[in-house]
Structure 1
Amino acid sequence: MIAKELVRAFLLQVRSGQHPEYAERFLAQKVLAHQVQAENPVTLERSPRDYAEHVEEMKGLFGAFEIEIEDILAEGDRVYARWIQRGRHRGVVDGRPPTGERLTQLTSAVYRVADGRIAEYWIQIDRAGLTAQLEGTLRYGC
């Protein structure tokens, strides 16, 4: 499977929450996950099992969410993807109790593919937009 199609399938099957248990089909045994945020960049080491657990946690926070891929571009071993995630506020997010309100996250990531698996990624999430929604000061068209 070429890198672009691998990442697309990963997003639609695993990241979407549809089949987090498929993570081992797409991820290397050790994945470097760079959380790109200006005030506190963090790099985590994830295994396929860790990633599946992470997706299950997201399902607890956002319910049965959906992902809409807006862009996916590839060059060499790098794949850029940008997507919208839509769900509902079902769990405590940033200290705020669940409201059931619709929540939208705008996300982009660059994935590095090696030996047919995702080996590393750099992810950016619009955290300010999510905070504004949680505070009731912004509503995305869901």
Structure 2
Amino acid sequence: MKLMLLTALFPLFSYSAPNPSKNKELLKRFYKELYVDWNMETADEMLSPDFISHDWPEKGQKGPKAFRKYYVAFKKAVPDAKYEVKDILADGDRVAVRWEMRGTYSEPFPGIDILPNGQTVILKGVAIYRVEDEKLMERWVVSDLHGLLKTIQEPSK
């Protein structure tokens, strides 16, 4: 009741509660448009200018431009990469996505010292996103890099 009274008296200080369902739909669209269709222009619409991914190798990079830069290098290394969302859960301003990426390792990727020779790659992981004002603000990723490196070290079958 007090919150409603305050927002009525001071509309500049209105509070918008997180909408988990809306946030979940935002992430479903994000994965479809950016990680399946690879429509990187969508990053400008969906990511905050201050978006930070806490897993990027170069700290301090932020926003849609940094996102596109990272994934241009990634897509060059794995040109047929496709992500599949396995689970998606939302609570408050956070959305957790369990995903799996499959593709072919075709070009070197910065930070990986194993030369590509057409190895099939499978990378599984979980990403947690923070959403604010219908934009992605932050992301934390945990992925099975050990499994990925083990796979690409093996001779291609």
Q: Which has the higher strand share?
A: 1
**Do structure 1's residue 95 and structure 2's residue 108 form an aligned pair?**
no
Residue 124 of structure 2: which of 106, 123, 126 is its match? Answer: 106
* TM alignment of 1:51-130, pairs within 5 A: 51-93=67-109, 94-130=112-148
By how many angstroms is 1:45 displaced? 3.6
Q: For the aligned residues, what is the CA RMSD?
A: 2.3
The amino acid across from 2:46 in the alignment is F
Secondary structure at the aligned position of 1:60 is classed as helix
Partner Cα separation in structure 1 for residue 37 and residue 114 of structure 2: 22
The amino acid across from 1:135 in the alignment is Q
Secondary structure at the aligned position of 1:102 is classed as strand
Secondary structure at the aligned position of 2:98 is classed as strand
How many pairs were matched up? 135
Structure 1 residue runs of 4 or more that deviate by more than 4 Å after TM superposition: 41-44
Compared CA separation, residues 12 and 63, structure 1 to 2 (3 A)? same
The structure having more radius of gyration, on CA atoms, is: 2
Q: Indicate the residue corresponding to 1:34 in structure 2.
A: 54
- Give 5+ residue unaligned stretches, structure 1: none
8 A Cα contact 1:66 1:87, kept in partner: yes
In the superposition, the TM-score normalised over structure 1's length comes to: 0.85
Partner Cα separation in structure 2 for residue 13 and residue 119 of structure 1: 18
Q: Which has the higher helix share?
A: 2
By how many angstroms is 1:106 displaced? 0.4
